[in-house]
């Protein structure tokens, strides 16, 4: 069970996951304001993040295929914090 994760750690995990799925270098992914993925990569990224963090983001079925790493990190951090407080 996850007891505490910093926002920075979650952000790095998102970047790491995107890089593992797409093969893009971390430096290039970090430089993007929004990351655009094809459907296959989108599903792989969120499947891996959800499995690693043992959460449901609801993003697997989203029709959007672009994301802000910072916004997603904040959303996940908030979700994890909420889950820990219940």
**Phi-psi category of residue 38: left, alpha or beta, with phi > 0 → left and psi -120 to 50 → alpha:** beta
| pLDDT for residue 1 | 45
Q: Is the pLDDT of residue 40 over 50?
A: yes
- The pLDDT confidence band at residue 36, using thresholds 50, 70 and 90, is very high
| pLDDT for residue 26 | 97
User: Which one is predicted more confidently, 41 or 4?
Assistant: 41
Contact 1, 84 (CB under 8 A): no
pLDDT in tens, 55-74: 988 888 888 999 999 999 99
| pLDDT for residue 79 | 87
Cα(41)–Cα(44) distance, integer angstroms:
5
Q: Is the pLDDT of residue 86 over 70?
A: no
Mean pLDDT of 39-57: 94
């Amino acid at each position: 069970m996850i007891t505490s994760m910093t926002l920075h750690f979650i952000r790095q995990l998102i970047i790491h996951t995107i890089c593992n799925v797409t093969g893009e270098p971390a430096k290039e992914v970090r430089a993007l304001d929004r990351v655009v993925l094809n459907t296959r990569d989108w599903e792989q990224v969120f499947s891996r993040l959800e499995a690693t963090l043992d959460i449901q983001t609801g993003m697997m079925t989203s029709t959007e295929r672009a994301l802000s790493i910072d916004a997603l990190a904040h959303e996940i951090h908030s979700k994890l914090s909420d889950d820990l407080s219940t």
